[in-house]
Chains A and B, each alone.
Chain A
Amino acid sequence: MPESAMFLTGEHQMPFAMFIRLLAVLAMLAFALPAARAAENEIIRIGDTLSLILPGEDSLTGDFPVDRKGAIALPEIGPVRIAGMPLEEAAEMVRHRLSVAFRDVARLTMRLKERKLFVAVAGQVRKPGTLELPGDATVEVAIAEAGGINAGAQLDRLKLIRGDREIGFNYKQYLDTGDLSVLPKLQPLDIIFVPISPLTGNVHIDFDAETLSRAGDGADAGGSVRIFGEVQKPAQFAFKENMSIVDLIMRAGGVTRFAAVEQIRVITDKGPVLFNLQAYLDSGDPALMPPLEKGATIFVPILADQIKRGKHTVYIMGEVAKPGAFEAQKGTTFIDILANSGGPTRFAETRQIRIIRATGIVEMFDLVAFTEGKITDIPLVQPGDAILVPEKTETQEPSWTRLPPTRTVQVMGAVTKPGRYEWIDEMSLFDLIGHAGGPTAKGDLAAIQIVKRADGKAETVTFDMKAYLDNGGSEAAVPVIRAGYVIVVPELPVDPNDNKSLWVRQDADRSIYVMGAVGSPGRYAFDRSLGFLDILSAADGPTESADLRRIRVSLRGQTNAEPILVDLLRYMETGDERVLPRLEPGDMIYVPGHDRTWTEIATGDTVRVLGAVGKPGRYSFTTRMNILDLLAQAGGPTDAALQDRIVVVNMGKENKAFHFDLEAFTRTGDPSRLPVVRPGDTVYVPDKTQSHWARVMETVKDAAQIVALFAAVAAL
């Protein structure tokens, strides 16, 4: 007998009110104490996250998840299995295990931080697989996380697999009642299995109402009608009284846009009957609609399947929206048939439409010219005629063999799309170059070659399209292109290296020569649109040693023409384009260097420096320079130089000499004391032996020697 019951017998002498109070206190203790200790004695599960804190030890302070094997991974110790243990007991075990590697582990605290539920959902759900759910998740939550139940699931026989056990439950009952007690409570590593209904058979199909409806409801072939062909949803439907063919077509989703609604066939035991739905819809006459019988089959044919053949039929083929056969009444034109066929597609070659007469004669029709008003006569079509709208040439692969040479021109060389192009004579050279994608970056439009081929002969003409584009001109100047011609756009080298490699292919009459002190001397392609600086730049420009004041241009095309002297520095000073010569193909540019040998330098460009200087010689000189520049260039006066008697000999209209006192100039800085020195003059720096005093002393010495000689002779 329970103790509480014994209390109720009243064997002890105790007032009833006191008994009731005591009972209430005991009841409160019975409920409150376990609740207070519940958190401490929580059973650890797989999926839990424990929070460990050991002050002063970072590696043991943090979150430690309980893995699928029920263990937590402790530093220095490794995995410790604690799933299934009360929290406090687990904490004690962890302290014990850690004590072999850590000190002061008694201060380690452990608490349950988070609870998760690892379950799996399999079977007839949209996303079968393992799930990580909140700790209090239910079966319904798990199924929802798995994407929900698929059509065809057996809802009343779901299973929960827990280890070796299988727990069946009726999910349908839960869905009907909302009673959660029907559902088993989930535990970690549970597997929820959703079976499929045996009604679905062994073949996987979509088992939803939409699919079932699409498949029709006529499972019983004997009592059904079938409809197929050009309807939206071909199916087998249960036959119902008073059902018409139109009803059946509507149940099948209606006809497609390809349906031949005038040719619907109704097949019954009595044989096929033709049903013209178009006529019925136009008239509403029920007599046009054959009755629908049980077991009937309706076939809606495709429109293209119709082969019209009759005495009024005209055919249209090729690149039109709806190729086929059309009725041509008297007076029907080509345009009528083309419009009925939906018109040409974007791939159609509308300039080359062919009308193949019933007699075998082929006529060409240019629809573009007609739309532009250039043609006003529209050909009539007769029954039996055929119209061919060909595909554009450039969309065909490979198509060049389909075009005869009498209808093509060839474009070669530096265009984006070299090739063979269909040609009509009303097009121009510009149309052709444009159609070939235009010239490439290296294309030389200034020397387009046109090879005119006719009667077994070829004649080449050159056209400067660049000049025409730049300056305009008469249209008559543009060569007329005919079918069979060959057009060549030559290349204009951009890179000097290209130029070197292609020099054999490069016509000498279209070249210019750059020599001397430039980065890349050589022969360069040239046309009249290029200038002096273009060519100099193409040759990588003058080198550091180039003498820019004395660039020479030889005019090869002109007999007895003297070279032009170009002062490029003057151009740089003034920007005066007239300083630069206008070049012609064949000309030669020579850029001399400062390091030329003295024999290469013209006398009129130099000043001679003689005497007591570091480097006597001839030096290039301009009127902008002065004697100080010259002396500096010549290495300066030597120690023996007589610096106050530097002699300048001016060679001009009248030859004169002056002396320059360098010492005085250095003392005063008076520029007026500087002599005029011009190219062609001579500067002489005497040495000290030519000073007045040296000369006097030398003369006295000589005289003394003579006197002594005379004295000696007299003494004898």
Chain B
Amino acid sequence: MMTKRSLAGTLVAVLLPALTACVHPWPPAARGGIAGQPAPTPEMAGVHAAVKNASAAGSLSPAEALAARERLDLAAREYRAGLAADADAGLLDVSLRLGGGDIATRTGRSTCLKAPCS
């Protein structure tokens, strides 16, 4: 009887740490995608159009337009990766480049140029 109890205790002592190792917490799998392959989210479609119009009107220089498109591209990837706050910051940055138009974002942020920030 004593032997059975000792054997059970030994198994518990060995398997418990092993189970503990199995639940070692790795971070979640990454998403996002490759740069240069834009997949704009619905809320970014308007900003893309605004960049295009501003570039055509000349109010946004070619270099600024390219930088804005790259930032929007990164924002889209950030959305997909779960970095919504960073993506929103990117959208706001682009908004500022466009002159401060209000932009609805996933986190509800908007520029502070036309309306005071709450």
Establish whether residues A578 and B27, one from each chain, have CB atoms under 8 Å apart when the complex forms. Answer: no
Establish whether residues A659 and B28, one from each chain, have CB atoms under 8 Å apart when the complex forms. Answer: yes
Look across to chain B and name the residue whose beta carbon is closest to the beta carbon of A694.
B21
Partner of A652 from B22, B31, B86 at Cβ < 8 Å: B86
Establish whether residues B17 and A702, one from each chain, have CB atoms under 8 Å apart when the complex forms. Answer: yes
Contacting residues of chain A (658-680) with chain B, CB-CB under 8 angstroms: 658-661, 671-676, 678
- Given A653-B88, A659-B30; 16 other pairs, CB 8 A cutoff: A571-B63, A573-B63, A574-B61, A576-B64, A578-B61, A624-B35, A653-B86, A653-B89, A657-B27, A658-B30, A659-B27, A659-B29, A674-B30, A678-B74, A695-B24, A707-B13
Given the complex, which residues of B lie within 8 Å of A574, measured CB to CB?
A: 61-63, 65-66
Establish whether residues A676 and B81, one from each chain, have CB atoms under 8 Å apart when the complex forms. Answer: yes
Segment of A141-149, A184-192, A642-650 engaged in the interface with chain B? A642-650
Given the complex, which residues of A lie within 8 Å of B37, measured CB to CB?
A: 671
Bound form: Cα–Cα A674–B70 in Å: 17
Q: Which of B30, B32, B63, B86 has the most CB of A within 10 A?
A: B30
Given the complex, which residues of A lie within 8 Å of B16, measured CB to CB?
A: 703
Look across to chain A and name the residue whose beta carbon is closest to the beta carbon of B31.
A672
Residue A494 lies at the interface, judged by CB distance under 8 Å to chain B: no
Bound form: Cα–Cα A552–B10 in Å: 68
Partner of B14 from A571, A658, A678, A703 at Cβ < 8 Å: A703
Establish whether residues B80 and A672, one from each chain, have CB atoms under 8 Å apart when the complex forms. Answer: yes
What number of A-B contacts does a CB cutoff of 8 Å give? Answer: 133
Partner of A672 from B17, B27, B32, B78 at Cβ < 8 Å: B32
Establish whether residues B61 and A699, one from each chain, have CB atoms under 8 Å apart when the complex forms. Answer: no
Bound form: Cα–Cα A714–B7 in Å: 13
Establish whether residues A700 and B34, one from each chain, have CB atoms under 8 Å apart when the complex forms. Answer: no
Bound form: Cα–Cα A163–B7 in Å: 154
Residue A91 lies at the interface, judged by CB distance under 8 Å to chain B: no
Establish whether residues A650 and B81, one from each chain, have CB atoms under 8 Å apart when the complex forms. Answer: yes
Given the complex, which residues of B lie within 8 Å of A579, measured CB to CB?
A: 61, 63
Q: Which of B20, B22, B77, B78 has the most CB of A within 10 A?
A: B77
Contacting residues of chain A (428-473) with chain B, CB-CB under 8 angstroms: none
Establish whether residues B10 and A671, one from each chain, have CB atoms under 8 Å apart when the complex forms. Answer: no
Given the complex, which residues of A lie within 8 Å of B17, measured CB to CB?
A: 699-700, 702-703
Output the least CB separation between A532 and chain B (Å).
Answer: 14
Given the complex, which residues of B lie within 8 Å of A657, measured CB to CB?
A: 27
Establish whether residues B20 and A699, one from each chain, have CB atoms under 8 Å apart when the complex forms. Answer: yes
Residue B46 lies at the interface, judged by CB distance under 8 Å to chain A: no
Bound form: Cα–Cα A648–B81 in Å: 11
Residue B56 lies at the interface, judged by CB distance under 8 Å to chain A: no
Contacting residues of chain A (227-247) with chain B, CB-CB under 8 angstroms: none
Partner of A703 from B13, B62, B63 at Cβ < 8 Å: B13
Return the CB mask of A680-706 against B: 1 if under 8 Å, else 0.
Answer: 000000000000100110111011101
Partner of A676 from B18, B22, B83, B89 at Cβ < 8 Å: B83
Partner of B83 from A654, A706, A714 at Cβ < 8 Å: A654
Establish whether residues A673 and B30, one from each chain, have CB atoms under 8 Å apart when the complex forms. Answer: yes
Given the complex, which residues of A lie within 8 Å of B89, measured CB to CB?
A: 652-653
Given the complex, which residues of B lie within 8 Å of A653, measured CB to CB?
A: 83, 85-86, 88-89
Given the complex, which residues of B lie within 8 Å of A673, measured CB to CB?
A: 29-31
Partner of A658 from B24, B28, B86, B88 at Cβ < 8 Å: B28
Residue B82 lies at the interface, judged by CB distance under 8 Å to chain A: yes
Output the least CB separation between A451 and chain B (Å).
Answer: 44
Output the least CB separation between B72 and chain A (Å).
Answer: 11
Bound form: Cα–Cα A578–B59 in Å: 12
Bound form: Cα–Cα A579–B63 in Å: 7
Given the complex, which residues of A lie within 8 Å of B18, measured CB to CB?
A: 696, 699-700, 703
Given the complex, which residues of A lie within 8 Å of B26, measured CB to CB?
A: 645, 647, 659
Bound form: Cα–Cα A652–B37 in Å: 22
Output the least CB separation between A547 and chain B (Å).
Answer: 18
Given the complex, which residues of A lie within 8 Å of B61, measured CB to CB?
A: 574, 576, 578-579
Establish whether residues B10 and A652, one from each chain, have CB atoms under 8 Å apart when the complex forms. Answer: no
Bound form: Cα–Cα A578–B31 in Å: 36
Q: Which 4 A-B pairs have the closest CB atoms?
A: A675-B30, A658-B30, A653-B85, A576-B63
Residue A501 lies at the interface, judged by CB distance under 8 Å to chain B: no
Given the complex, which residues of A lie within 8 Å of B35, measured CB to CB?
A: 623-626
Contacting residues of chain B (25-78) with chain A, CB-CB under 8 angstroms: 26-37, 61-67, 70-71, 73-74, 77-78
Bound form: Cα–Cα A657–B36 in Å: 23
